Structure 1
C-alpha cells in the first residue's frame, strides 16, 4: 500500500481500496488493531466490537466500518500505520526466508554426507563380515550408450549383449558413449530429459552405476545439477503391503530430511529420484495404472504412487532414473521415458582394470588374465561385471580349475560354488572331518539342498525376497554358510521388525534352484514339461530360460560327477535320462516347425555331449533364432549344434539379430549349407554384403535369400547380382524396405525370371513411373495375390510359434502395412486367421498387461 493513494481524502481512498484492503490485512488485523488502540484511534469498546466478528476478513470489514465514523484524521493514521506494518512484515519475512535458505543449504550438504557414507563401501557377493572394500578403489568404468533394445522380452538376457558390445564400439556414430553426469543432459536441443530408463542384462552393473552416482554426488563430483538425490530400491518397496504416500517412502531411509521435506518437494526441478531394480518389483506387471495421486501426502498403493511419479502426475518437474533388466521393461509406461540408456558392461581395457583391482598385484593380475584370455567362454563372460567377479573368485579360491577349463556357464557356476564352499568352510570342515568324515560331507550337501529348495520354491513364485518367518528360511537358521550366498536386510515397519533375505544375485538363485531340481525327486516345472506345446506361455515366456540352461548343465555327466565328489550331491539317473530325451524331442520338433530354438540350443550346449546333437534327426533342419540380439556365446552355441549335423540346412533365420560382418564371416561354412537364409532387419555393411555374395557364389544349396530392411542400396545389390551370375542358384530375393533405386534393379534385369523367378522390392526408392516399368517377376507393390498369400502364410507360421511378446511386435508391423492390401482375398484370410490366433492367446494369457495389448489388436482386426 502506498500513502499517496490518500490523494485528497483518506476516507475516500479507504472506500475505493476496501476490497483489496480486506485481502491485504486479513493476516495481520489483530496486531493492527492493537496499534490503533495504543494510538488512541480506536477505543477498547471499538476493539471488543471488532473481536466479536467471526474470522479475520470480517474483522477487517468492521475496522473499515468504524473508521467511517472516526473522520479524516483517524483514516490518515490508519493508512500510515498499516503501510509501516506492511514494510516491517516484508522485512521480517525476508529475514525468515534468508534463515530458511541457510537451513536448506546446510541440509543439502548433510544429505551429501549421508549418501557418501552409505556408498563408500562396495559389497561383493562373498564379502566377509566386517570387511570393508572401498568403492573408490574397486570401481571400474562401465560403458553406457544411448538407445535401447526393442521393448520385447529379452529372454536370454544373461548373455545377450556380447555382440552388442562389439557393435557399440565399432559403430560409435550410431550409439554415442555417455558419462553418468550426462544422463539428464538435453540432446540436440530436444525437450528436457526428466525420465531416464537404464537397462542392461543381469550382472551388467545397474546397481553399481547407481552407487557410482550416489558416491559422486556425496563427494560433490557429480555435476548433475540436483540439490537432492533420493534413492529407493524396489526390493524395499516390495516390503510395503498397505497404502502409503511419497512422503513416507522418502522418509523411510531419510529421516534427516523431515524438517525441510516440504521445500525439497516444492523445488522438485532440483530433485532426482533413483528407483533401482524395477524387474524385482512384485507389481511390475501392473504399472500402467489409471488411478493417480498428485500430492506427496496422498495415500495410495505403492504401484499407484510409482505410476503417478513416472507419468508426471506427481512431482511433474522431478527427474527420475529407473533401472531394470530387459525382461521387465515391457511393462513400463514407455511414453513417459525421455531417454533410454543401455549399460554394455566392460570393454577389454576395463576387464583388465577389474583384474588388477581385484588381485591387487600387477603380476598376479596379468597371469590370471592370461589364463582367462585363452578361454573364449570365460573371456566373453568377463564383459559382464558380475561374471567377471565370479571368474576372478574361481581363479583366486581354486588351486586349479578342476583339471579342465570351464566350457559352459554351468561349469563356471559349479566351480564358483565349490570354490566358495571350500574357502568358507575349510576350517570347520577339517574339524568335522577329524571327528567323523561322512557327517561333514552330509552336512555340506544338506545346507546346499536347503538353499536350493528355498531358491526353487521362490523362483517358481517369481519371488526374490524371503522373510525370516518363511519355513524355508527358518530351516536355514544357525547355518554358517547362509551369509556366503544370501544377503540379509532388516525391514522396519511400525510395530514390526523382520529380517529379509535374498540371494546375492538373481542368477545365483536360478543356479541353486536348478541344483535342487536336479538332485531331488521334485518333478520338472510345468513350464518346462509343456514348453514344446505352448509357444505363447511355454519356453518362450522366458522366466525359466536361464534356470533351464543351468539344469541341463548340472544334469551333464561332468558337472554331476563334480557335485557328487565335492559337495556330496547326486543327480537322479532317471531324471538325467528323462531330461536328455526331452532335449532330443524338443529340438527335433523345433527344427521341423521353425519355432524359436535358441534357448534349447543353449541347453544342448550346456550338456557338451555330441551324441545328443547326433540323436536329433528332424525331417527338415530349420533353425530360427530371430529377434534376439545375439552374443558371441549365442553364435558359439549355434555353430556347436550345426557343426554336429549333416546335410542341408533347410532354413536359417537370423532376422533382427544384429548380425555383423565378423559373425557372417565366422559362420560362412554353415551358410553354404543353407537353402533359405533370412537376414532381414539387420544393418548390413558392404563388407557383410560381400560375405553374402561369396556365399551366393560358392553355395550349391541356397535358393531363397531375405534382406528386407537391411539398409542396402544399389552398390550392395550390384555385388549380389554379380555373384548370382557366377553361380545362378538363387530363385527368390526379398529386399523390401531398402534404398534400392531403378539403377539397382536394372542390374537384375538379365537375371529375371531365370534364375530369379521372384524379386520383392517394395518400399524402396522408386518413383511411381519407375514402378510401372519393372518386369513381372520383380514385385514393387501389393498387386499379386499369389506372392502375398505365400508371404502371409510365412508370417502366420512365425506368429504361431512366437511368444506373446514377439507376436505383439509382429502385429505392430503387419497392421502398419495392411492399409495397402485390405481388399485382397489373401489379406482377408490372413487377418481372419490372425484374429483367431490372438483370441486363443488371450484365453490362456495370465498377464493382465499382455492381455490388454492382445485385446487392442483383437479389436482392430475384428472391425
Structure 2
C-alpha cells in the first residue's frame, strides 16, 4: 500500500532497542469483555483531554491504567481476499510494501495476556533456577540448580493477582474499574472442527450457527484446555483454539493465567509464557535461541538467561496466529532440540509445535478461523472453538454488565424481540455494544426510539461514544468522524484492519492534534504500540470499521454527490449508489461485504438519517426514496443466488424496514399451515423467505416439518442453512434422490451442524445415496444419533457401507432400514459392523426386509461377539422360522447379553415406520 511506514526491524539488539523494551509497564492488566488487550500491547494509552503524553509513564500499580479493548482485530490473512470496490474483484492482494504488521487482530502482545512471570526467586517450591555469573551462561553443562521456597512463590502469585484482577471499562475520562470475576461470563468452548477453515464473514458464521451453544457437545472450560475429555486417553500437548473477532479468545487466556496465579487451577504448571505472533513478526531476521527469544521478549525477567526451562512444566501461549506474516514451514528446515541453539524465529516456532524442541512443554495457540490451516492437523492434539455466549450466558452477561436489574431485564426482553440483534449477541463484543446502548437509552426518560435494527444500534452506539462531553460536540469532532469514515473505507477496500501513522495522515488525521483525542473515544478507535515498533491503529471491531465505512460512502453521496464505490458511475438517485453496492456485495469473496451493505442501506431510512444528522450536520436533510432499491433486491433474490447471499439480502430488506416478502409466509407458519399450495414447488424467493424466518425465529416458535416444504433436490440445497440448524431433519417422502445425499453427508461433518436425527424415508436415494451419505457418517466430526432409511430402494450394497460406518466408532445409536430388500446377504454384511468393538449402536430396525432364519443366525453371532451394545432388535414382517426366533429369544433372556427388546411379530409401530 502506498505510503506505508515500515517498522524498525530487529536487525541487532542495540542499546536503544533494549532501552525501549525495558520501559516500565503501566499498571493494570488488560481490561475488557472480550479480547482483552493489555497496556503492553497498547503502549501508552490514548488520552483525550490532558493525561499522559508520549514520554510519560503510568505508575506501575495505578488503578486507572489504560483502557482495554473489547475485541480482537485479526489480520488480512484471515479475511481471505481483500475487498475491491471499484470494478470486479481480483485474486491478487494489494501490495503493502514492507508493512509493519498487517493484521486485524487483537493487537496483543505478550503483555496482552497478562504480565509475564518474574523469575527473581518467586516460583513454586519445586522450581529450580541457575545460579551463575553472566560469564558462565554459555556453559553447555550448566551451573548447579537451586530450588525456590514456597514463600517466594506467594510473592509472585500476589503480584499476578494484582495485575489481572481488574477489567477497565469506559472512556479515557470516565474509567470504571471492575473486578474480572465480577464481569467475567463463561464462554462456550467446544472440541472439534479439525481441518475445517470457514472464511465466511464472521458475523455470518455466528448467525448460521446461532444455536450451536445449545447442542449436545461437551463444553470445555478454558482452565481445562489441556485436560482430556472423559474417554480420551491421549495426552494433550498442543491445543489450537479458533474464534472470530470479539468472541473472547484473549479473555479466555486471561482467565487461564489469573486462575493459575490465584491457585485455582493448573498448579502443576511452573511457568507461563504468553507470546504474541504480531511481535514475533518483528524479529524474523534475527537468529536466536529459545532462551534468547524469551530474554528479549521478557526484558524485565533478568533471570531468563539463568533458567533451565527444559526441567520444568511450561505453558507457551501463542496468541493471534492469523497475524503472523511468515509462512510456517513444517516440512523443511533444521531440526532443533536444544534451547540454546540459535535459529530463525520461524524454525523455533515450527520445532516447538512439532515437539522437537521442549517436547514436555504445553502449547496453546489462538487464531481466527481463516488462519487455522497454517498448522498441519497432525501437529495438533486438540482443536477447540469458542462459540461465544449461549442464550443463558447472554442473560448472565447483561445482568453483570448492567447494574440495575430492571434495566437488564428490559434490555434482554428488547433484544429477544429483535431476533437478528439477539442472534448477533453470541459474539461478546456485540453483546457489549448492545448493553452500552440499551442501558443508556432505557435509563433516560426521553431517549428516542429504541434500536430495533443493526444500523440503529450502531448509530446510537456512535452517538453515545461521541457524546462524552454532554453536548459539547464540536465542529472539529464532526470533521474527525468524516476522516475516520474515510480511513475505515479506504482500509476496508484494501483488506486492512490495522493501519499506521502514514495511513492516518493520508486521510487528514494528525495524531498529535488534541482534536483527535478530545472526541474520539477509545472504545471506537485504538492507538497501540508494540515492542520494537511504532504506533498501530485500529477500530475496536471489524463491524465498527464497516459501519464507519458505510457512513463515509453514504455521506459522500448525500452531501458531496460522489459515488465513492464507483466514481465513474454517475446518477442523482440513492438507488444509483445502492445498486452498485448490492452488485459488489453479491460478487464479494466469502461475503465480506455483507455487513457493510446492510449498514449502508440502513442509513437511508428517514429515522436513521435524523439520528445521523445529530452527529453530522446536513447528513440527513434530503428525503431518500428507497423503493427502487427494495425492488432491485427482490429481483436479485428471485434470481436464486446462494443461500447465504439471499439470507443477507433479506437482512438488507429488514434494515430498509420492508417485510413484505416474509409477511405472508410468516402468517401461514403462525397459523400452522403451509405457506404455499401443497402441490406447488416453491420459488427461490419463497424458499429464501422461509429460510430467513426459520433461522431468525426463536427455537420452537414454528411447528413445521421440512418434508411438508421440500419437494425436490433443489429445495434441499436451498434450505441447507435451515437443515443444519435444526436437530430433527425430517426429510421423509420429499421426492429427493441420491443427489441430495452427497451434500447432506458434507453437512453432517460441519462443526456448525446441529443435526442429531435424520429421516430420509420414502426417498429413492438407492445404494449410491447411502454410499455418499456414509462418507459423512464415518467422519469423527459427525454427531448424528438416529438415521431412518425406510423404503429407500436399498439392497445389500448399502449394508456394506453402513457396516463400515459402524466399525469406525460412529455416533449412530439407532438405525432403521425397514422396507428395503436387503435380505440375508445384507444382514450378513451388516453384522460385520455389529461385531466391531467400536460399534455403539443401540437400536436396529429391520422390518419387512426379506429376511429368513439365516439372518437370525448372523445377528445371534454378532450379539455373542459384542454383547455390550445392541439393546433393541426389530424384525417383524419377515419370513422367520421358529428356530431363528427361538435362538434370538434365548439370547434376549441371557443375562450376559445386552438385548432387552426383541420384536418378530407385526406391531402397530410398523405402520408408523412406513410413514
* Band of TM-score, shorter chain: 0.5 to 0.7
Structure 1 position 550 matched with structure 2 position 599: yes
Q: CA RMSD in A?
A: 5.4
Query: Which of 335, 348, 360 is the matching residue for 2:378?
Result: 335
Deviation at 1:352, TM superposition (A): 2.8
Structure 1 position 475 matched with structure 2 position 475: no
For 1:141-540, list aligned pairs within 5 A.
Answer: 141-148=186-193, 151-161=196-206, 164=209, 166-171=211-216, 175-187=217-229, 188-223=231-266, 225-238=268-281, 242-243=285-286, 245=288, 246-247=290-291, 249-252=293-296, 254-267=298-311, 270-279=313-322, 281-283=323-325, 290-291=332-333, 294=336, 296=339, 302-398=345-441, 399=444, 403-422=448-467, 424-429=468-473, 440=474, 442-468=475-501, 470=503, 471=505, 472=507, 474-476=509-511, 477-478=513-514, 479=516, 480-484=518-522, 485-493=524-532, 498-520=534-556, 521=562, 523-524=564-565, 538-540=587-589
SS in 1 for 2:451: coil
Larger Rg: 1
Instruction: Tell me how far apart the structure 2 counterparts of residues 205 and 418 of structure 1 sit (CA, whole Å).
Output: 25
Instruction: Tell me how far apart the structure 2 counterparts of residues 595 and 159 of structure 1 sit (CA, whole Å).
Output: 8
1:26 counterpart residue number: none
Query: For the Cα contact (< 8 Å) 1:665–1:691, is it kept in 2?
Result: no
Equivalences, count: 608
Q: Deviations over 1:425-453 (max 9, x none)?
A: 32533xxxxxxxxxx3x434311122222
**Compared CA separation, residues 507 and 236, structure 1 to 2 (3 A):** farther
Query: Which of 678, 683, 690 is the matching residue for 2:716?
Result: 678
Deviation at 1:553, TM superposition (A): 3.1
Deviation at 1:357, TM superposition (A): 2.1
Instruction: Tell me how far apart the structure 1 counterparts of residues 415 and 757 of structure 2 sit (CA, whole Å).
Output: 39
Deviation at 1:263, TM superposition (A): 2.5
**Compared CA separation, residues 311 and 604, structure 1 to 2 (3 A):** farther
Instruction: Tell me how far apart the structure 1 counterparts of residues 448 and 333 of structure 2 sit (CA, whole Å).
Output: 60
For 1:712-861, list aligned pairs within 5 A.
Answer: 720-721=761-762, 734=769, 736-738=771-773, 747=791, 764-765=801-802
2:148 counterpart residue number: 102
SS in 1 for 2:480: helix
Structure 1 position 120 matched with structure 2 position 165: yes
Deviation at 1:262, TM superposition (A): 4.9
Instruction: Tell me how far apart the structure 2 counterparts of residues 483 and 397 of structure 1 sit (CA, whole Å).
Output: 16
2:682 counterpart residue number: 648
Instruction: Tell me how far apart the structure 2 counterparts of residues 531 and 763 of structure 1 sit (CA, whole Å).
Output: 49
**Compared CA separation, residues 118 and 308, structure 1 to 2 (3 A):** farther
SS in 2 for 1:232: strand
**Compared CA separation, residues 474 and 682, structure 1 to 2 (3 A):** closer
Instruction: Tell me how far apart the structure 1 counterparts of residues 797 and 456 of structure 2 sit (CA, whole Å).
Output: 47
Deviation at 1:302, TM superposition (A): 5.0
Instruction: Tell me how far apart the structure 1 counterparts of residues 428 and 211 of structure 2 sit (CA, whole Å).
Output: 16
Instruction: Tell me how far apart the structure 1 counterparts of residues 293 and 566 of structure 2 sit (CA, whole Å).
Output: 37
Q: Deviations over 1:31-58 (max 9, x none)?
A: xxxxxxxxxxxxxxxxxxxxxxxxxxxx
Instruction: Tell me how far apart the structure 2 counterparts of residues 285 and 409 of structure 1 sit (CA, whole Å).
Output: 37
Instruction: Tell me how far apart the structure 1 counterparts of residues 721 and 411 of structure 2 sit (CA, whole Å).
Output: 37
2:101 counterpart residue number: none
**Compared CA separation, residues 683 and 162, structure 1 to 2 (3 A):** closer
Instruction: Tell me how far apart the structure 1 counterparts of residues 599 and 214 of structure 2 sit (CA, whole Å).
Output: 30
Deviation at 1:609, TM superposition (A): 3.1
1:706 counterpart residue number: 740
**Compared CA separation, residues 251 and 409, structure 1 to 2 (3 A):** farther
SS in 2 for 1:161: helix
Q: Deviations over 1:798-839 (max 9, x none)?
A: xxxxxxxxxxxxxxxxxxxxxxxxxxxxxxxxxxxxxxxxxx
Instruction: Tell me how far apart the structure 1 counterparts of residues 373 and 634 of structure 2 sit (CA, whole Å).
Output: 32
Deviation at 1:324, TM superposition (A): 1.9
2:179 counterpart residue number: 134
Instruction: Tell me how far apart the structure 2 counterparts of residues 416 and 530 of structure 1 sit (CA, whole Å).
Output: 24
Deviation at 1:516, TM superposition (A): 2.1
Structure 1 residues not aligned, in runs of 5+: 1-93, 430-439, 615-634, 753-757, 779-863
**Compared CA separation, residues 427 and 146, structure 1 to 2 (3 A):** same
Query: For the Cα contact (< 8 Å) 1:264–1:271, is it kept in 2?
Result: no
TM-score calculated relative to the size of structure 2: 0.55
Instruction: Tell me how far apart the structure 1 counterparts of residues 658 and 278 of structure 2 sit (CA, whole Å).
Output: 40
Instruction: Tell me how far apart the structure 1 counterparts of residues 614 and 498 of structure 2 sit (CA, whole Å).
Output: 31
Structure 2 residues not aligned, in runs of 5+: 1-140, 557-561, 568-578, 664-668, 750-755, 778-786, 805-817, 827-915
Query: For the Cα contact (< 8 Å) 1:445–1:569, is it kept in 2?
Result: no
Instruction: Tell me how far apart the structure 2 counterparts of residues 121 and 446 of structure 1 sit (CA, whole Å).
Output: 35
Deviation at 1:278, TM superposition (A): 2.7
Deviation at 1:413, TM superposition (A): 1.6
Between structures 1 and 2, the one with greater helix share: 1
**Compared CA separation, residues 703 and 296, structure 1 to 2 (3 A):** closer
